[in-house]
Amino acid sequence: MGGKAIERAAVRNLGWRQALIGLLVATGSIGAAASHEVLVVVGAAGQPSFASGFQEAAKAWTEACGKAGAEIVVVGLEETDRGTEKGRVFQWIDNLDRTAAMPAWIVYVGHGTYNGREAHLNLRGPDISVSELADRLPQMERTLIFIHGGSAGGPFLPAVSGPNRIVISATRSGEEINYARFGEMFAQMVGSSSGDMDRDGQTSLLEAFLSAHHAVDTFYKEAGRLASEHPLIDDNGDKLGTPPDWFRGTRVIKTSKANRDPDGFRAHQIALIPSELERKLSPEQRQKRDRLEAELDALRKRKADTPEQVYYDQLEAIFLELGKIYFPEDCPPPPLTEPEDS
């Protein structure tokens, strides 16, 4: 089968991944399990009505991590935490394994504040400023995910953004200081199959972001109120962020005047609760698969400027490497057949 047929058969979207993982089950090439590490920081509530929402969000994260087999630490709910939250957050960050294959998550559920110069996470005791958090976070080989689900979180996105990082903020600026509902909606979506937009058996980080936005948007419309929170996602390290209305489903449908790369690709590769098929891969296999898929995506973007034979040679090389992940040497893959045109 020629290069164009291969591309139609296997590159149309990432749906081919699930079929290959299914075949992997029969090969016995299954790696050891490892887990995500999740830190949930619950901020000072201020009012009892806010406290119940923050507690429910923390509970949702705990339940989702239980389903995922993830390691979770919750800071800010117990009275014994009072006044020590900042130190515990920094201790957790300092103890991170910088080379682990699975992502590390820092999730903030609470109010944010902004004084016109700097934004803060509002804790019971000393707050954490955006500059303090940015300075404390290490550059790591593993993926670091930071989710600010509260008000005035916009300044955290450019400060925390960088290589191997995914940043989500409930607001696009520090000026959006009203109570934000996004963090609580996100907590419900990340552990629910209702956020699985492409029906691949898992809710990716991108899908949770988009589904949470839809839930928040619906709330404001039904209440007849102007939305006071506008979330952004950054997963390519350019510090700019992409709003939800750039997406149709999980696909980007808009471009900027500067023709910058949109976000979303890396976030769509990661799910806190993996599908049954995805669990068959070891963390190292997933990490290598994700890197090769990123190379595949970059190659496709260069297709118009790449000589045809060079393009298909590089395409084949990537698929061969992907094949080594899914099929051991003693279990060759079945022959590819070209799909019928629909």
In the predicted structure, residue 15 carries a pLDDT above the cut 70: no
Lowest-pLDDT choice from 3-7, 163-167, 247-251, 262-266 = 3-7
Does 235 map to a domain? yes
The helix or strand, by DSSP H or E, that contains position 71, with its residue range, turns out to be strand 71-75
Does 188 map to a domain? yes
In the predicted structure, residue 26 carries a pLDDT above the cut 90: no
| 46 and 26, same domain (yes or no) | no
What is the per-residue pLDDT for 277?
81
What is the per-residue pLDDT for 178?
94
Q: Is 220 helix (H, G, I), strand (E, B) or coil?
A: helix
The helix or strand, by DSSP H or E, that contains position 252, with its residue range, turns out to be strand 251-252
| 315 and 167, same domain (yes or no) | no
In the predicted structure, residue 35 carries a pLDDT above the cut 70: yes
Does 277 map to a domain? no
CB 111 within 8 A of CB 41: no
| 159 and 23, same domain (yes or no) | no
Rg of the chain over CA atoms, in angstroms? Answer: 21
* CATH classification at residue 175: 3.40.50.1460
Instruction: Give pLDDT tens digits for 135-157.
Output: 999 999 999 999 999 999 999 99
In the predicted structure, residue 329 carries a pLDDT above the cut 70: no
| 25 and 45, same domain (yes or no) | no
Beta carbons within 8 Å of 188's beta carbon, 6+ residues apart: 57, 60, 212, 215
Total number of domains constituting the chain: 2
Instruction: Give pLDDT tens digits for 75-110.
Output: 999 988 888 999 999 999 999 999 999 999 999 999
Q: Work out the percent of the chain whose per-residue pLDDT is above 90.
A: 69
If pLDDT is split at 50, 70 and 90, which confidence band does 31 have?
very low
What is the per-residue pLDDT for 257?
67
| 219 and 259, same domain (yes or no) | yes
Residue 7 CA to residue 3 CA, distance in Å, equals 6
Does 334 map to a domain? no
What are residue 38's phi and psi, to 5 degrees? -130, 125
Does 242 map to a domain? yes
Highest-confidence segment of 128-132, 198-202, 311-315 = 128-132
What's the DSSP call for residue 139?
Answer: P
Does 132 map to a domain? yes
| 305 and 222, same domain (yes or no) | no
The helix or strand, by DSSP H or E, that contains position 108, with its residue range, turns out to be strand 104-109
Does 275 map to a domain? no
Across the chain, mean pLDDT equals 87
What is the per-residue pLDDT for 11?
45
Count of CA atoms in the C-beta half-sphere (13 A) of 255: 5
| 261 and 310, same domain (yes or no) | no
Structure token pair of residue 173: 């600026």
In the predicted structure, residue 179 carries a pLDDT above the cut 60: yes
Range of the domain at 78: 37-269
Q: Cα dist. 72→37, 91, 102, 192 in Å?
A: 6, 14, 13, 17
What is the per-residue pLDDT for 335?
55
Residue 202 CA to residue 118 CA, distance in Å, equals 37
Residue 55 CA to residue 58 CA, distance in Å, equals 5
| 18 and 42, same domain (yes or no) | no
What percentage of the chain's residues is helix, strand, coil (to nearest 5)?
Answer: 45, 15, 45
